[in-house]
Structure 1
Amino acid sequence: MGWVVGLWVVMSISFGWWWYGKVFKSHLLGRPVIVSTDPELNKVILQNQKGAFLPYYPKSVLEVLGESSMFLMNGNLHKRVHTAISSFMRSPSLKAQITSLFENNAKLFMATWKDKPLVYVQDEAKEMAFQVLVKVLLSIGPGEDYNLVRGEFEVLMKGLMSIPIIFPGSKLYRALKAKEKLMKLINRILEERRPELDKPEGKGAVRDAADVLLRDPEIRKEAQHLPSDFVSHNIVEMMIPGETVTAALTLSVKFLGDSPVALNRLVEENMELKREKAQSGDEYTWMDYVSLPFTQKVINETLRMANIIISVWRRALQDVEIKGYFIPKDWCVVAAFLAPNMDEKTYDNPYHFDPWRWEGKDASVNTLFTPFGGGQRLCPGHELARLQIAIFLHHLVTTYRWVAMEDEIVYFPTVQMKRKLPITVAPISPSS
């Protein structure tokens, strides 16, 4: 959810740390905040080992999410939901399913590109990623239900970042109505499944995230005091972080187009894998994609430069002192990731796209690198996100050469390209 409040913090973070240091006071969204661009302080805030902080979001976000939102959840229920969903997202069976699904999607979408004068990468990437997301969450494929989810989710997202005024026709009003429609559809799907829970034959393989939340006995016990549509709320909210995959897919194309040396190395590595598969006749596995070393470096560098999650917001439950910094009770602290990613003391020539900077480095243990958040609220789907980016890049660079039109990155309402990154493509000859 860090990118949701991007516009309000990006200028403060970008310039404030130059003027005032790595930690400074400010006023954002009508309340006093402490902005931290100190990676070590951010790590402590994210880990929240002493329970000194709670999530905080702007009023428009809170209106849409509601009081039982998993983004506001804390304690045992949050821990159990996060653990259950994370285990499901990391399971080999789901990774195999996602590999096949996203691979087929990438091939189908990209097959149409050769006939288009311009391909808008952002639109294509968004549709590819969202189809997979809805399948993982609800096992919904293309059709009437999918179209409803897609359309209403777009309306909901626009309202999340709107002025918090509710009247007929306002973005926030339309977002609340869109969520009602989404909840109605998801409740129907879940009600059709509930009778299966009491039947032994109905407890087979877990199909999706909805099954995980419905079946887990600890979640069901902990959620008894919450509204009956608790699971539906969670499913809707799990769609929101999925937007980060779209941004990563799109920006990887931009950065590679601007970096021909890196692109050539990526093409070499992926063409080698494609030739190996053609010779052996074997299907691709998820391990094939995540084991490509230079591709993983490209993904790391894309996530570093993209700054998809600009910041996360927390509210102090008590007076807190960390590393000599005092955070008063009820103040918000904004753990900002934008500045550390572009800090010359951490990264040489930080504004240059350089995948080789990750040579010999394990990004998973780098506490300064937090593209998916961290601590108890690390994004459960971070491994699947990286897998999707790897699959997308493989099929793109082994299918087409491209030239990108002039475009620029904007940070509101989400991190995206101003013109949706239009490109022209030319198929690679089979002999290449």
Structure 2
Amino acid sequence: MQRHGPLFRTSVMGKQVVISTDAEFNNYIVQQEGKLVELWYLDTFTRLFEQDGDCETHIGFSAIHKYLRTLLLNHFGTQNLKDKLLFEIQECIYKTLSAWSSKGSVEVRHATTIMLLNFGAKGLIGYDPEKATEDLGEKYTRIMEGLMTIPLNIPGTTYYKCRKEQESVVNMLRGMLKERRASLASDQTHEGDFLYEISKDMDKEKFLTEDFVAHMTFGVLLATFETLSATMTLAFKLLADHPSVLEELTAEHEAILKKRENSNSPITWEEYKSMAFTHQVINETLRLGNTLPGLLRLAKKDVSMKGFTIPAGWTIMLVPYALHLNPNTFKDPIEFNPWRWKDLDSLVVSKNFMPFGGGTRQCVGAEYSRVFMATFFHILLTKYRWTMIKGGEIARNPLLAFGKGVHIKFSEKTN
């Protein structure tokens, strides 16, 4: 940026790429989805999620995206969060924290990954880790180790091991899909979940082949935990390093308990929406976390703006964290300061804060992620004590990483 400005071209792994750290240009591009640009992935991602038949060519990616987005919004959207998921999230967190408190310490990134994946997989595909013959959590953990590596599918490489684990998960999902399809009429146990709805639609939607559904479900499951587990782990690190923030956050949640007739009652949607400082902490953690290195788009046509023309076929990489760390928007940008969000203009925020992407591609799980974090910290701060034991070194490779991990001891409050 210092050398070339906020908008420049370069070459990444032999591909011509335009890098944008310009808020106006980024906002313009995310509004051009399906018009001037389309979604694009790194080769590693593409090869992990590819299916036979190239159905996107015949059906159109936009139609597939619309179908999948609608299906996921039915599960992770606001209405289902209010009606069902908020209570289920609380049950999951109570059970998880109880288990963590019985251990000497917990490595939070790994533990939150398992918690989030198991919860998401239960609601999406009816997965029960206590009955399953294969451990999804451990398999996905190994897959993530190779997700950002050079895609050399040669025995011995991290990527090769990643592909083997991915193939194992996809085969497991393919088997579950066959079983679900065979018992669709008689088994109502999983009625309404993600796999149930897709199974019903496979006879009328031609692009929903067995192979496509298995790969798509693999990707959806990965999305339920990867960025959220990193953000939650970072929140622990930041709260441990900033006791004044932790104090105010704890006070907000204890005040919610005092207003209830029964302090052990479940969190209501109204209580969740009232957690003003909690939402500021979440926003500030998301701003500093920057769990996505960049948002990638492919120019379908020539894109002209600000005196530049990006040729069709070039890749465009939007870099949200350059906006999130811009001192002109966020004063002292590397400082963890949740109070800053009280005075930020909503229009400025809409153009300079993109933790969940933007436009029609904004993550359907954005509100789900916020609800899970807010609920987790409500239960943690009112029912448990926690102490960081070791670790917490922050690194990027380029995804957010935590050196030797963040190890925390949990214990239940006695009064």
What is the TM-score of this pair, normalised by structure 1?
0.85
Indicate if the aligned counterparts of 2:150 and 2:159 stay in contact, CA closer than 8 A. Answer: yes
Distance 1:71 1:306 in 2: 33
Distance 1:228 1:403 in 2: 45
SS in 2 for 1:75: helix
Aligned residues: 409
Which residue of the partner structure matches residue 87 of structure 1? Answer: 74
Which segment drifts farther, 405-414 or 313-322?
Answer: 405-414
Distance 1:42 1:276 in 2: 43
* Cα 1:148–1:186 shift into 2, 3 Å: same
Which segment drifts farther, 46-55 or 351-360?
Answer: 46-55
Indicate if the aligned counterparts of 1:79 and 1:376 stay in contact, CA closer than 8 A. Answer: no
Indicate if the aligned counterparts of 1:155 and 1:178 stay in contact, CA closer than 8 A. Answer: yes
Q: How does 1:286-325 map to 2 (within 5 A)?
A: 286-325=269-308
Matched, 1:419 2:404: yes
User: What code does the residue aligned with 2:194 have?
Assistant: A
1:379-419, CA deviations, whole angstroms, 9 ceiling, x for partnerless residues? 11111111110111112222214346352212226312112
Matched, 1:224 2:219: no
User: What code does the residue aligned with 1:390 have?
Assistant: A
1:234-278, CA deviations, whole angstroms, 9 ceiling, x for partnerless residues? 110012222111011111111111222111110001112233346
Matched, 1:183 2:166: no
1:60 shift after superposition: 2.3
Distance 2:257 2:264 in 1: 10
* Cα 1:363–1:148 shift into 2, 3 Å: farther
Distance 2:244 2:343 in 1: 19
Matched, 1:211 2:211: no
Which residue of the partner structure matches residue 6 of structure 2? Answer: 22
1:331 shift after superposition: 1.3
* Structure 2 counterpart of 1:358, from 317, 341, 351: 341
Which residue of the partner structure matches residue 264 of structure 1? Answer: 247
Which segment drifts farther, 202-211 or 235-244?
Answer: 202-211
Matched, 1:41 2:25: yes
1:429 shift after superposition: 5.0
User: What code does the residue aligned with 1:412 have?
Assistant: N
Which residue of the partner structure matches residue 321 of structure 2? Answer: 338
1:280 shift after superposition: 6.1
Indicate if the aligned counterparts of 1:96 and 1:285 stay in contact, CA closer than 8 A. Answer: no
Which segment drifts farther, 92-101 or 228-237?
Answer: 92-101
Indicate if the aligned counterparts of 2:23 and 2:352 stay in contact, CA closer than 8 A. Answer: yes
User: What code does the residue aligned with 2:28 have?
Assistant: V
* Cα 1:194–1:261 shift into 2, 3 Å: same
Query: After the TM superposition, which parts of structure 1 deviate over 6 Å for at least 4 consecutive aligned residues?
Result: 68-73, 201-205, 362-365
Q: Which has the higher contact order (CA 8 A, sep 6+)?
A: 1
Which residue of the partner structure matches residue 61 of structure 2? Answer: 74
1:114 shift after superposition: 4.5
* Cα 1:159–1:277 shift into 2, 3 Å: same
Q: As a proportion of its length, which structure holds more helix?
A: 1
Indicate if the aligned counterparts of 2:36 and 2:303 stay in contact, CA closer than 8 A. Answer: yes
* Cα 1:83–1:363 shift into 2, 3 Å: farther
Distance 1:141 1:204 in 2: 13
1:283 shift after superposition: 2.6
Structure 1 gaps of 5+ residues are: 1-16
SS in 2 for 1:155: helix
User: What code does the residue aligned with 1:350 have?
Assistant: P
Matched, 1:164 2:147: no
1:295 shift after superposition: 0.8
* Cα 1:158–1:95 shift into 2, 3 Å: farther
1:284 shift after superposition: 2.3
Matched, 1:61 2:45: yes
* Cα 1:405–1:394 shift into 2, 3 Å: same
User: What code does the residue aligned with 1:346 have?
Assistant: T
Distance 1:94 1:143 in 2: 25
* Structure 1 counterpart of 2:110, from 104, 110, 123: 123
Which residue of the partner structure matches residue 365 of structure 2? Answer: 381
User: What code does the residue aligned with 1:230 have?
Assistant: F
Distance 1:278 1:416 in 2: 42
Percent of pairs with identical residues: 28
Which residue of the partner structure matches residue 142 of structure 2? Answer: 155
Q: Please provide the CA RMSD for this pair.
A: 2.9
Distance 2:100 2:160 in 1: 37
1:92 shift after superposition: 3.2
